[in-house]
Amino acid sequence: DSQWIDAADEDGVPEDDVIGLQVAGKDLALYKVEGSVFATDNICTHGHARLCDGFLDGYEIECPLHQGKFDIRNGRGTCAPIVDAVRSYPVRIEGGRVFLKLS
């Protein structure tokens, strides 16, 4: 059975922005759009770039290296050169904390 992990303070995730953080040995990106928090792996599936260094536009994160884009709601690539989705994780908010299901 997979566990919910207490990952961050909800207020620590800025609205319409992305932050990177380490949780349980994973490099993750957390996003907040219209008050909802989303989580994906932080490393782009195309090359070694961190999505938290990219640009968030609505529900799309643009990779800083070659401007590939992912939908932060499901991790799917939305334009070239992205072929593989980035992994996304279920998020639950409770008591002002962000909980993630990582497995």
Residues that bind ligand FES (CB under 6 A): 44, 46-47, 49, 63, 65-66, 68, 81
Give the neighbor-by-neighbor strand order of the sheet with 36-41: 17-23, 26-33, 36-41, 88-89
- The residues facing 31 across adjacent strands are 18, 38
Q: Which residue lies nearer to ligand FES by CB, 12 or 64?
A: 64
CB of 34: closest distance to ligand FES in angstroms? 25
CA–CA separation, 103 vs 25, rounded Å?
12
In the complex, the smallest distance separating the C-beta of residue 43 from ligand FES, rounded to whole angstroms, is: 9
What is the smallest separation between the CB atom of 6 and ligand FES, expressed in angstroms?
29
